[in-house]
Structures are given as C-alpha cells and as structure tokens.
Structure 1
Amino acid sequence: MKTLYWLLTTCVLRTVCQPLAFDYLVAGGGTAGLVIANRLSEDPGITVAVIEPGDDVRDDPMVLDVDLAGVTFSPSLDWNYNSTVQPQLDDRILPYHSGKAIGGTTVINGMYYIRGDRANFDAWEKLGDSGWNWDTLFPYFIRSENFTIPSSAQLDAGMTYIPHYHGRDGHLKTGNPYQVENGSFHSSARETCENLGITLNRDLNSGETRGYGAYPQTLDRDANVRESAARAYYEPIDSRPNLRVIKGTVKRITFNDSVGSELVATGFEYTDDRGNLVSVTAEREVILSTGTLVSPVILESSGIGNPRVLARNGIQTKLALSGVGEGFQDQPLWTLLFQASTNISGHIPFAAFATAQDLFGTKIGSIAAATSRNLTSWSQAVSQRLNGDLSPRVLEARFRVQHDMIFNKNVSVTELEFFSVGSIIGIVFSPTLPFSWGSIHLDSPVAVNNPAIDPNFLSIDFDIQTAIGAGRLARKIWSTKPLSNFTSAFLVPGDAALPKNATDAEWTDVLKSSCGSAYHGIGTCAMLPKELGGVVDPTLKVYGTANVRVVDASVIPVLMSGHPSAAVYALAEKAAKLIKKSLATGICPVSSTPLSRF
C-alpha cells in the first residue's frame, strides 16, 4: 500500500504540474550519489530522487570495454573541462576529464582500486574530523567491496592479495582481468624494483602502499566488463519504486527562511533536457554529490561561499563560508614512453610506490628540516594565489600535518604505474602529496557546469623537487636490468630533451611543459573545522545549514597515496549510515514536524 500510494501521489503531482517532492534529493548520479541513493532507498518508506544530467550508458561498449579504461573521453561521456591558464606551467591550459553519465567518472576512469596509506586517513581526525580515520573507514571499505580472488593463472602472472584487507559481499566488484600478461614482465619488474630497494608489497590496499605490487581494478572479471558505480549500486535496484533518477542539471539549492541560526533547504532548481528551469522539493535533506569540480560551484550559485566570489558573480550571500572552493588538491602526472623490444600481450596492472626516503636517500634529514622551515613561506605563497581566502595561518596548520605524513609517517609520496599499448611500453609517475594547492570557483552565475579550475601545479619548489626525484626513479627503473631488456628506445620526451644524466634544470623544463592531471582532485568542500577553512562538519553537513550535506571527494581534506575512488565508496557508505542514523529523530528539517512516512 505504501508503494501504491507513492506512485499514485507522484502521478497526481505530475498531472497538476506541481513540484515533485521526495524525502531526499541527491544532486549527481556518480560514485557517492549512487551509493547514497542505494542505501537510503533500502527503506521502502523513504523516497529518494537523484538528479543527473548524464545518460544511462549501461549498454555502451565504450564504457564496458576494460581495454578502453582511462582512454574513453568521448564528448558524450565526458564534460571535458579546462583549467584556467597556468602561468607556472608555461601558460598552458590543462584538460580536466569528468564523467557525464549515470555512474559519473567511474564510466571513464582507469578503474584503479588503491585506497592509500593508513596515515592519509588518520590525518583527517588529526585535523579535527572526529570519528574519521583508517580504522573507522576500514569496515566501509570492506562493506563496499566484492573482491574476486585471483585464479591460479592470475596468481602465476603476479597477482597477489591478503584476504583480510578485502570484502567479499559488497556491491562493488573488484579484481583483475583474465587478460593479465602471463610472460616474464612481472618477474622482471619485481626483480628490478627490488634491486632498487623497492620490495614486493603483497597487497597495496593494506594501508601501506610502499613497494611494488599488483593492484585490483573495478571490474567484473568473469563478465570481462567495467564495474562502474552505476553497475554496482544502481542497475541492480533501478526498479525500486521509491527511487527515481531525474535527468537534469542542478543549478542551485532553494531555501526556506532560516530556523534559528541555520539555513533550511527546501530542494533544488534544475534545468531539464529542454532547458526548462524546474523545482523539486526535499522533505528532509538535500545532498550534493556532484564531485570536487562542481559541488563548490553549486554552493556558490546558491549563495553559500566567499562573499567576494559571490559578489563577483552577482549573487547575494546567504551564508558566508570562505573555504568553499578553496584548498583544491590534485596530483600532477607525467608519462615516459619507450619502444618495446619484445611483445607484451595482456594487461600489466602493476605499480610501484616510493617514499621520500626512497627518492632522497641520505639527504632525507636535511630536506625534511628545510621543508619544515619553508612551510611558512609556502603557506603565504599559496594564500596569495587564493587571494587570501585561506589565510597563511590556516594553510600552515594543514601543511604541517602533511609534512608529518611525508617525513614522520613515511607515506608514499609518488606512484609509478607500468603500462603497455601495442609496441609502446611506459610508466606514469605522479607525486601523491603536493603542497601546490589551488581553487575551484563559479566562473559565471549561469554556468554551473563550467567551473574555473586552478590546480596551481608546481608552484611550490618542493613539489618540483619531488617530481624530479620521481621522474629519475621512473627512468632508472626502465634502464635497470632485467626490465631494461624490454625497451629499445626512449620515445617521449626522448633523450634530446631528457638525457640519462639530465640536470635539474632540464628536468624542470620537461616537467613544466608536459605536466598533466591525474584527475584525483579533492578538498573543495573540505570536512574540517571552520577555523581551518572547513565547509562541512564530521556529519558532512554544511556549516550553518540544517539539512544540506556534501558527500563526494570534495569533502576529503587530505590527498591519499592512492586513487580517490576507493575512498569515496567507503566515505559514501559511512555517510549513508550517518544519514540513516539521523532518521531516528523522525523530524522533518523543512517543517520541524514529524515526517509523514508512507
């Protein structure tokens, strides 16, 4: 009867053209949004709507094909954003890929499932996020994952794992494709890394990434297809009558009068596929899950953010929060390409992670001390880039936690990923914890999906120093036997630009001219105390609001030595539990009256 009542009510509302009403509204049908929608709609008495501008692409072969992971950037699937001009990178503009479909960026990403180091997550609590650390998130990593144990052939090809660190009953399938390279590559790469002091890591998801090892991917091994957030969390339950996906682009949050000192959201305004502006009502909460690039600009378009930024866009300030859009953190990325001297068939899902000790060796003590002394000046430089919206004092407090991770907790500071494409073989290297932070803001009051993205890569000299160390390690790996037997020529950037004994100046020129993004952005709606530039509290509720939450990578306050997607699944699982816990009050935030349950 509850389900029938909801369906009849919905039909009547459509007929008389009144705004639709749901208990929970979720902006964005990506990783976090679909986890939230799945978990909340488990209760048939709760109605949930997800507003997503992208299409349902469950049958798109470009999405399903595991061989196209990380290279499918079709305009129909990708927002194809661009950064602002980057003066420190030879005035270049960098592309920013972001998935445009139900499933979000999980329909186009590289499918890596690497959580990061324990200390990355423990830093959340150290910065003031009570209850958020590795130990409290670990059960949600397990809850979300459905790990496929490697076959005997895959074990022979170098796949390793430790059962304790993997879930077997979650929604998200992870594992390795059957097409893993079964020749000598794994043993050669492992031996080479060990010769350079980077030992085997039997499970890169154990909370310690340092070492050489195989990583799982978000895929259904037996079906041989990509496992997107849509395939894991939406498609199996898309027939639930209390769950609806609405095609549209959320423009802003609508608000009622404040209750006490808090703003109360009443719903969203969104544009449908005909360009019409439509209102939809939330009886309980609105949840932003549009990602690091868009969640801050939706807040800004709704009047929440830095008054200076809002005024620049002609938006009246409803709630002043200077941290919105600030402290954008991303990992820069470079690629070295070689001509393969021998045929490599199949996937090579192997990576090496290195610490500052690995990169700097006996110089580590002096570099740690010099870095500590420079934190004050770096904070001032980044604050100036951010127009003072995060003060030097705030940035330095956060930088010191990052410095502790690097030099005292010995987290990995660079990731090196091996790959092959046809006759080309190569390595991607990406520093994981840069101090060069940027911002993302609304660029126009009518263009929510055209954010001004400023990653600010390589603006801090230590980040250049780390990238040079990572690049030299990557080059050394490929010039050390037995792995050097697989290459015959250095193609990109080539010996002319980067000879074997390249100077720091030569490396710096290459780094600036070829720097790209790993698309691992976090932090633009940071879960932190307000005095540290925080936007949401440890319940993921936006400060100063009664019923607005942000649940996506934008709330993560610290980059991890891994890939954010794994962390976002766990974060969203925990967020869903927090939201369900709030249901126990039985109070509707919009009206402050008992919520009518169907």
Structure 2
Amino acid sequence: MQAIYDYIVVGAGSAGCAVAARLAQDKQTSVLLLEAGPADKNIWIHIPIGYGKTMFNPQLNWQFKSEPEPFLNNRQIYQPRGRTLGGSSSINGLVYIRGQSQDFDKWEALGNEGWSWRDVLPYFKRSEGNERGESALHGGSGPLSVSNIRGKHELVEAFIGAANEIDVPRTTDFNGAVQEGAGYFQLTTRNGLRCSAAKAYLRSGLTGDNLEVQTDAHAMAVLFDGNKRAIGVRYRQGGQVKEARVNHEVILSSGALQTPQLLMLSGVGDAVALRDKGIKVVHDLPAVGKNLQDHLQSRLIYKCTKPITTNDDLRSWWGQARIGLRWIFRKAGPVAAGIQLGGMFARTSNEVNTPDVQFHFGTISADMTAGKPHDFSGFTMSVCNLRPTSRGELSLHSADPFAGPKATFNYLSTEHDEKTMIAGVRMARRIARSRSLSPYVADEYRPGFDIDSDDEVLDFIREYATTIFHPVGTCRMGPDEASVVDTRLRVRGVRGLRVADASIMPLLLSGNTNAGAIVIGEKAADLIKQDRGQENGRHISLTTMNSELTGELQ
C-alpha cells in the first residue's frame, strides 16, 4: 500500500528544510521530506573547519563536474553540492550574506511581484536568530543561528586596514543598510558548531510527528496523472523502488543543478531534447535548465612573512592542539570559524552604484579550495564578480536518474565579466601592496607579481579561476510564459508542482546564496498555505501569516 501525504518535498537542503518545516507547523498537515543522501551524523559536518573534510567526501558530496568550459581553457570545473540532510548548508563555508536590497528590487522590476526587498526582508528576519538580537534589519529569534567570529586575527586586521587605504570603509555588518565595506563575516554557527538548515529547521522544535524525513531516498521522477497534475514521487531507497502519493502538492527543492534535472526526467522540459533521450513528454517547457548562473572566483595566494597563518597551526601537533583548545574552551579560532574569516564588498569603479566584487580573505592557503594546506605560511584573497552576465545551460546526459546533470556554465564568456574579474585582481594587488598588508607579504605565490598586463591577468584567470559554489537560475521565476515558474513558484503547464530553491532566482544575488535559498523556502511555505486556504474558501494574507509565525518563534 502506497503512503499518502499532503505534501512531498524533494531535497532536504537549505530551502527544502525550511519549506517542509514551515508546512508541518500545521499539525493537521502531513509532510514527507525526501533526501537522497544520508543523515548528517558525520562529525566533520558540524565542526566548521570540517569544510575541508566534506569538500571531497563522496558520501556527503555529489562531486559534480561541469562540461569543459570553453572560456576557461576547456577545464571541467568541480561542482560540490551537499548530499546529506541540510544539503549544501551542511558543507558550505558558513558565511551569512543576504545580497543587496537592489538585487530583490531588480527581481520585482522583471515582473516578479511580491519579491522586492520590502517583501523578502520579513522572511530574512523570520529565519534569522542573530546573536546580536532583533533590529530593524535583523531577526533575533529565528531558527537559523547567526554568530560573530570570536576574537580578531592579525592578518585580517591588516586586510581591513588595507581596504581602508583604498577607500573601502570598515563595517561590522555586511547585511546592514549598506553592504559596501571590509570586516569580519558573520557565520551560521551556534556555540562553535555549524548551524545547517537541517539543524535550524528539523531539530528546533518547529515540527512534530507530522513531518516524516526519509534519508537515502533518491528521487527518480515526479508522477503525473493524465491531466498533468503531480500525484506523487518515485524514488529509490535501500535498493528498492518506491512511490509516495500526494494529496495537494509536490515541491522540488533539490537545488539549481538537480531540480531541473528531475523536472526533465519527469517529462517537463524541452520536448525535442526529452524525446531524444527517450523520455515521455508531459509538458513542453524549453526554459527548464536555461539561465544557469554562478559566481566565478579568482584566488590570489600569498606567502606570509610571519608564522601566524592556519597553515602554521595545522603543520605541527602543538599548533593543532592549540587551535583545538581554543575551540573547546572559547569556541574561537579556526576550528570554530572555518577558513573564511574576513571579507570585503567593493566597487571596481565609480561607474557602478553598489559593490560588484566580493572578497573572501582566508588565513590559509592551498592549491585548490579546501585542499591540503601549503607547507609555507600562507594566506588567500579570493575575488569574485558579484553580477556576472555570462549564462550557461543544464541538460541531461541520459535518462538515467542516477547519472549527474550535464552543466555548461560559460563562465567568463562576456566582456563585462572579463573586465570585472581583471579589475578585481588589480584591487587585490593594491591591497597586497598597501602599507597595512605589505609587511606580511613575502611573495605572491599565485599568480606572481610578474603577471601584470591585462592579457596576462586574464590568462591567469582563465587557467585558475573556479566556482565559489553559488549556482542559480535554472528554473527561472518570471511573469512570462518563457519562465519555468510563476511568481508563486508554480511550475508552468502542470498542476500541483512547485519549485522552492535557488534555481528559481532570475538573477544571481550579490553574495553568498545560502541565506537567500532559505528565504525562498520560507516564502514558498506561505504561498502554498495561502493558495490552499483560498482553495478552501479562506483568505489568508502573507502579512498575517508572517506576523503569526514570527510570533510563534518568540
């Protein structure tokens, strides 16, 4: 006998945990949350510095690769995605950034009514439990813990001082009224441990027995009836193929790489391409998989004149013991903060009104992100273009639901992106040569100070740049028929099916995307409840729902 639920959520990532938990706050509603990966029991998920351990762990990470990228010397770019409860929020760099208010106002300007900054701010506040407390822009009692980095680091202080020298002010809040500035990040941690979406939403007392979470449950297809209504999900668990049925809706929250893949496998996508793979077409929706966007980062690595880096801490047993003790007794240091301590949002020219590059400053260095630390004292400045104009596409390798998606990002395919990245590297060089930071610079390990012309810098970027892990946009939200979902996140052309994750973003946010994905899950739950209430003859406003749920968490 098949199990029947009111709602099925596919993917227990940043958005999926939020939407499932919020739906299940109605104790009369049954919700099934399916996660392809295992439960989040691995200790390295929860210790912030464990980022380096989960980055290449196939049990916790899908370890996708892009197709050869034509503008990055045909390199395949590694695409880590979370494969456990919490999704990528369980393996990411923990940085809490919302983006700029203008990002969401641009969404609305594209015709996405209800998604302006004014509309989404209540959801950011509702989700956030900032240790600094409640304010006009921050939530203090939400399930997602947001914490300050404990203590200061000599190198980060020098970096911030260097930023001041190039007229970037010091800031204590990248999520305040103005994003521009340099300072310490706030992190999604709680008492020195990671606060993933799973910990925030599935273990915070928001839900009861009416939320059923199944792990190691790999979704194979959404099931439709003859009227194009989603009626359930087929999935594999423990070597068995199972089906779960739904009374109301299926919500896809598998992320920007796997949600469009699942739609295509289910017969929703470009009809010609689907038939070519032998997939029965349910609805011809060519936009599925288009509009792929991501942040590209270029990492500049420096040898340090003093043995004060995390490389030095990790190189000796005494250093490891010291940082371990700092974590145990003070919940401070690299174990508690991971690898990204400081950051900067800046404008590469006076022609842009808001920051167009983001820096991540780490007191550690390695040939690749989260790789083995160098055997010298080193630190890293990573610069990324916040609003790339390059667009990629995701499609299927085959009709096999256990094969990875086929993604080409087309990184660095526009002149705008080339110029912004070159300008960002040059800004990093100015910081490295500043009065504040230059005393700590023994040498530029990569690319090397001899790489200086625009052509040489661009060659360096093409050879070494990589993702900073923020894919979005492949199920674009929009008011037009060419979009995948409407402004209420309903998949066009079918019934009873929504998407709630970063794939619906029409434009990439100016910063890390985890907080934004969680907000999409939060808002999706309210949209679903409101639409369900209207079906039952009850009018429920989003404003009222937001006020009620905020009150429940206080």
The alpha carbon displacement at 1:448 in A equals 5.0
State whether structure 2 residue 135 is matched by structure 1 residue 181.
no
Secondary structure of the residue that 1:334 maps to in structure 2? strand
Cross-structure match for 1:206 = 176
Is 1:76 matched up with 2:59?
A: yes
**Cα distance, 1:582 vs structure 2:** 2.0
Rounded Cα–Cα distance in structure 1 between residues aligned with 2:231 and 2:299: 47
Q: From the superposition, tell whether residues 89 and 187 of structure 1 become closer, same or farther in structure 2 (CA, over 3 Å).
A: closer
> In structure 2, which of residues 129, 135, 152 is the aligned counterpart of residue 146 of structure 1?
129
Query: Structure 2 residue aligned with 1:101, among 84, 90, 93?
Result: 84
Correspondent of 1:414 among 344, 354, 357: 357
Aligned with residue 245 of structure 1, among 213, 237, 246: 213
Find the aligned partners of 2:164 and 2:214 in 1 and give their Cα distance: 52
Q: Does 1:36 align with 2:19?
A: yes
The amino acid across from 2:152 in the alignment is: E
1:147-172 alpha-carbon deviations (Å, 9 max, x no partner) = 1139xxxxxxxxxxx94322111000
| 1:550 lines up with 2:499 in the alignment | yes
Query: Does the 8 Å contact 1:26/1:51 carry over to 2?
Result: yes
What's the counterpart of residue 542 of structure 2?
A: none
Instruction: Pick from 426, 433, 443 the counterpart of residue 397 of structure 2.
Output: 443
Instruction: Check conservation: 1:294, 1:449, Cα contact below 8 A.
Output: no
Counterpart mapping for 1:222-241 below 5 A: 222=191, 224-237=192-205, 240-241=208-209
Note if 1:136 corresponds to 2:102: no
> Which residue of structure 2 lines up, in the alignment, with residue 254 of structure 1?
223
Query: In the alignment, what sits opposite 2:330?
Result: none
Q: Per the alignment, in what secondary structure is the counterpart of residue 507 of structure 1?
A: helix
AA matched with 2:302 = F
Question: Are 1:61 and 2:4 matched, yes or no?
Answer: no
Deviations 1:239-265 (A, max 9, x none): 82211112311111111121xxxx211
**1:577 corresponds to:** 526
TM-score of the aligned structures, taking structure 1 as reference length: 0.80
Residues 334-355 of structure 1: per-residue CA shift (max 9 Å, x gap): 1111111121464562211112
Tell me if the contact between 1:115 and 1:563 (Cα under 8 Å) persists in the aligned partners.
Answer: yes
Aligned match of 1:271: 236
In structure 1, how many angstroms separate the alpha carbons of the residues matched to 2:221 and 2:156? 50
In 2, Cα distance between equivalents of 1:238 and 1:561: 30
| Contact 1:442/1:448 (8 A) holds in 2 | no
1:310 paired to 2:274: yes
User: For the aligned residues, what is the CA RMSD?
Assistant: 1.9
Q: What letter matches 2:136 in structure 1? A: H
Tell me the secondary structure at the aligned position of residue 257 of structure 1: coil
| 1:286 equivalenced with 2:250 (yes/no) | yes
After superposition, the C-alpha distances for 1:261-287 in whole angstroms (9 at most, x for unaligned) are xx211011111121x221110110000
Q: Distance in 1 between matches of 2:177 and 2:253?
A: 26
Provide, for residues 447-493 of structure 1, a one-character-per-residue CA deviation record: whole Å limited to 9, x for no partner. Answer: 35500011110111221111000011012111111111122121122
Quote the offset at 1:214 in angstroms.
2.3
CA distance in 1, matches of 2:266, 2:43: 37
**Matched-pair contact (CA < 8 Å) for 2:188–2:194:** yes
The higher radius of gyration belongs to 1
CA contact (8 A) 1:297 1:448 kept: no
Whether 2:471 is the aligned partner of 1:521: answer yes
- How far apart are the structure 1 equivalents of 2:535 and 2:211? 20
Matching residue of 2:314: none
Residues 158-206 of structure 1, C-alpha deviations (whole Å, 9 max, x = no match): xxxx94322111000011243x335x44443232212111122332102
Contact 2:357 2:384 in 1 (8 A): yes
**After superposition, what is the alpha-carbon deviation per residue over 1:86-129, rounded to whole angstroms, capped at 9, x for unaligned?**
12211111110000001101111001111111111101110011
1:559 deviates by 0.9
| Kept after mapping to 1: 8 A contact 2:7/2:246 | yes
1:118·1:208 contact (CA, 8 Å) conserved in 2?
Answer: no
What secondary structure sits across from 1:412 in the alignment? coil
Amino acid of the structure 2 residue aligned with 1:442: L
CA contact (8 A) 1:269 1:278 kept: yes
* Aligned with 1:431 (options 382, 385, 400): 385
- Match of 1:512? 462
Question: Quick one: distance in 1 between partners of 2:497 and 2:402?
Answer: 18
In structure 2, what is the Cα distance between the partners aligned to 1:440 and 1:102? Answer: 24
- Cα deviation 1:364-407 (Å, max 9, x = unaligned): 4xxxxxxxxxxxxxxxxxxxxxxxxxxxxxxxxxxxxxxxxxx4
* C-alpha distance in 2 between matches for 1:135 and 1:523: 21
Q: Secondary structure at the match of 2:522?
A: helix
* C-alpha separation in 1, matches of 2:534 and 2:416: 49
Q: Is the 8 A contact 1:209 1:561 kept in 2?
A: no
Shift of the 33–322 alpha-carbon distance from structure 1 to 2, 3 Å rule, reads: same
Q: Which residue number in structure 2 is paired with residue 378 of structure 1?
A: none
Contact 2:22 2:206 in 1 (8 A): no
CA contact (8 A) 2:155 2:363 kept: no
Distance 2:43 2:22 in 1: 28
Deviation at 1:446, TM superposition (A): 1.1
TM normalised by structure 2 equals 0.86
SS in structure 1 opposite 2:242?
A: strand
CA distance, structure 1, for counterparts of residue 177 and residue 489 of structure 2: 24
Matched, 1:166 2:120: no
The range that moved more, 577-586 or 27-36, is 577-586
CA distance in 2, matches of 1:38, 1:506: 50
Q: Unpaired segments of 5 or more residues in structure 2?
A: 311-332, 335-339, 365-372, 538-554
Q: Which residue pairs with 2:544 in the alignment? A: none
2:518 is paired with a residue whose SS is helix
- Code of the residue aligned with 2:106 in structure 1: it is A
Whole-angstrom distance in 1 between the partners of 2:298 and 2:53: 15
Secondary structure at 1:188 match in 2 = helix
Relative to 1, partners in 2 of residues 1:208 and 1:239: Cα closer, same or farther, differing over 3 Å? closer
2:448 counterpart (482, 488, 494): 494
Partner of 1:480: 434
Residues 433 and 424 (structure 1), Cα distance of their counterparts in 2 relative to 1, 3 Å cut: same
Q: Please name the residue that 1:374 is paired with.
A: none
Per the TM alignment, residue 568 of structure 1 is displaced from its structure 2 partner at its CA by 1.1
Tell whether the 8 Å contact from 2:184 to 2:342 is kept in structure 1 after alignment.
Answer: yes
8 Å CA contact retained: 1:468, 1:507: yes
Aligned-residue offset at 1:71? 5.6
